[in-house]
Amino acid sequence: MRSSLGAAFSCALVAAALWAGAAGAAPKQARFLGEPASDAARQVADWVVGAGDNARLPFVIVDKVQARVFVFDPSGQLRGAAPALLGLAVGDESVPGIGARKLSTIRPEERTTPAGRFVAALGPELGHKDVVWIDYDAAVSLHPVVTGNAKERRLQRLATASPADNRISFGCINVPAAFYASVVTPTFKGTEAVVYILPETRPLGAFFPGLRARNEAAFSGPSQTHR
């Protein structure tokens, strides 16, 4: 009898310890491995990993304000980061029907890179072997930097330390060719990935409802009964 009670007591202690460990465990976070990143990029990446929003797929964070791209493996470990060129115009929405229009008809103020969550994959595009299609209907993709128009100085823009001169494209995300070949292509090879493009004119929660709900729950705290 004593041995049975002792065993039961020991099991209860083990269960309690496990429960306490789980309850007090730190939330999962993305691992940037020392790479500098904005608070917004870290907040979204940590939410993706903690909530499993990437559905066990690799994922990409595009920080438009800082003109940076971060590529992660499915567990949230950084595979690489690089500067990026983005849409000329500030804005978080694509103009309806813009993907079906000729580039020559697109006005400067319409050249935006849309914000949001996109399930992306490699696919062919005219002039490129393969690009990462982010929003096919809006003709928004991630691809190696386009250098056909020397006046745009795209390589020089990528090389500067400031993000202020990185707005030049029609909405696509241009990254260094070496980064695309060594990080982006292997990440997307044979799989889809989730691309999170951070907004620049609206709050993060406007485009990522799950993040907004998490933040609201964290700020509200436990409910109390008033007597």
Residues of the chain above pLDDT 90, percent: 79
- Give pLDDT, residue 125: 84
- The radius of gyration computed from the CA coordinates of the chain, to the nearest angstrom, equals 22
Chain position carrying tokens 């559905």: 55
- Min mean pLDDT across 56-65, 189-198, 210-219 is at 210-219
66-91 pLDDT, tens digit per residue, is: 999 999 999 999 999 999 999 999 99
Least confident of 15-19, 38-42, 180-184: 15-19
pLDDT of residue 23: 46
User: Is 102's pLDDT higher than 80?
Assistant: yes
- Which residue type sits at 55? A
- Amino acid 215: pLDDT: 86
> pLDDT tens-digit profile of 170-200?
999 999 999 999 999 999 999 999 999 999 9
**Which of 46, 72, 35, 63 has its CA nearest to residue 193?**
72
Going by pLDDT thresholds of 50, 70 and 90, the confidence category of residue 140 is very high
Question: Which of left, alpha, beta for 221 (phi over 0: left; psi -120 to 50: alpha)?
Answer: left
Q: From start to end of the chain, where are the E strands? A: 59-63, 68-72, 78-83, 86-87, 116-125, 128-135, 140-144, 167-169, 173-175, 193-197
Q: Of 126, 7, 145, 123, which Cα lies nearest the Cα of 67?
A: 145
Question: Do β-strands 140-144 and 173-175 pair in parallel, antiparallel, or remain unpaired?
Answer: parallel
pLDDT at 50 over 90: yes
Within its chain, how far is the Cα of 138 from the centroid? 18
Q: For all residues of the chain together, what is the average pLDDT? A: 88
How much is the average pLDDT of 197-213? 96
DSSP secondary structure string for all residues of 100-122: GS-GGG--GGG-----EEEEEEE
Give the orientation angle of helix 39-51 with respect to helix 209-220, to 10 degrees.
90
| Stated pTM of the model | 0.85
| pLDDT band of 126, cuts 50, 70, 90 | confident
